[in-house]
Amino acid sequence: MSDKSFKNRSATWQAYLRPDGRKGIRNLVLVVYTVECAKHVAHAIAAGERDTHVIGFPGCYDNAYAIRLMLALARHPNVGAVLAVGLGCEYTQPERLAAKVSESGRPTEWFYIQQSGGTAASIARGKEIVARMRDELRGTRRVEMSLGELVIGAECGGSDATSGIAGNPAVGRMFDRLVDAGGTAIFEEIVEMIGLRQVLVDRATNAAAAEQLVAAYDKAVEYCRDVRQCSIAPGNFAGGITTIEEKSLGAFSKCGSRPIQGVIKVSQPPPCPGLWLLDSVPDPHFMQFGYTNPNDTEGIMDLIAAGSHIILFITGRGSVIGSPVAPLVKITGNSETYRNMSDDIDFDAGRLLSGQRNLDELGDELLDLVIDVATGTLTKPERLGHREYFITYKHQDTPPLEIGCRA
């Protein structure tokens, strides 16, 4: 390990302390809408308001998975206050959502559009609430935070042949740095690990973790058979990937080389530091809600709901998405893509392929960038105002995690 990365392991910065004891790297007001009919009002409330983000669920009928996801996002450490907005006739009730969030000590308010005079009156009311919340958040206590308290998630999208040999390995090396410093790393997309059953088992911390990994893997394979589709797309083929096994090996490289502590499900934060696999595949259910992952944004939201302060998003062919709640850092292993989309992409890992950098150097540089983002530097998606989100119907059982920290 280089001297530079050793210094970074001891880096600290000022974070926002929440009433529930968690530490955030952003200090946001979150507007949550509970049905598609309230989407326009929610976005209009947030428009032009600094540090105010929006998420929402389109469905008229409730879904336990979506509610857990919204609650996890609303109680995320980067969120300081929450406004819940509903139309008034949907199953998912903003009042109950706000009540659960308020248990975390965050300022919360809610209202129905039908009871607030319609669109214009509701927007005005929402903006007044948001302004009051932002004033309150200015007094948020600041405390010291270190790498050992940081949670980072990783996702791939628009992969090409460079993703598995440059972009993802650079993230994997940075993940090794983070875990060695006592931090928490989360990777997902187990449907992009088809063919790697034994590889997963070999990386398990112990027999219990291996059992969890096998169960998640077998479920993913069965799910892909049921929907008759593996997680590989025309753009992957055009970018030089030939099979799902080849894509799987590349996708898996983003998790680095440290032991895998176990498996968490969507909206479950890791119970202790280390490297974790997030299983976002729907559990068997007679209604079979949802694909896994129907798009890149859905997977990113899953990682944020697990408590990730920052998301690392690796793309070979290019991407223009961002995310609410947690900053998105975009990385490519394709230097041509970086040159073509440098306004959107934060980090060029393709320098590994040109010989300009080795993998250790890229891991250190990426760690530097993560620390900068944690201290307040805006990512390119943040600067451009990209805050895409996707919350869909899905079914997952989430039993309590009975996992202790492992050496």
Enumerate the domain spans of the chain: 17-142, 147-384
| Residue count (the chain) | 407
Strand partners, 264: 278
DSSP summary character for residue 228: T
Q: pTM of the predicted model, to two decimals? A: 0.93
The H or E element that residue 257 is part of is: none
pLDDT digits (tens, 9 = 90+) for 160-199: 888 888 999 999 999 999 999 999 999 998 888 888 899 9
> What is the CATH number that goes with domain 17-142?
3.40.50.2300
Q: Is the pLDDT of residue 317 over 70?
A: yes
pLDDT digits (tens, 9 = 90+) for 71-100: 999 999 999 999 999 999 999 999 999 999
Spatial CB neighbours of 309, under 8 Å, sequence gap ≥ 6: 24, 25, 77, 78, 150, 151, 152, 326, 374
| Residue reference for tokens 């989100």 | 389
pLDDT digits (tens, 9 = 90+) for 128-143: 999 999 999 999 999 9
The H or E element that residue 64 is part of is: helix 64-74
Strand partners, 285: none
The whole-chain average pLDDT of the chain stands at: 91
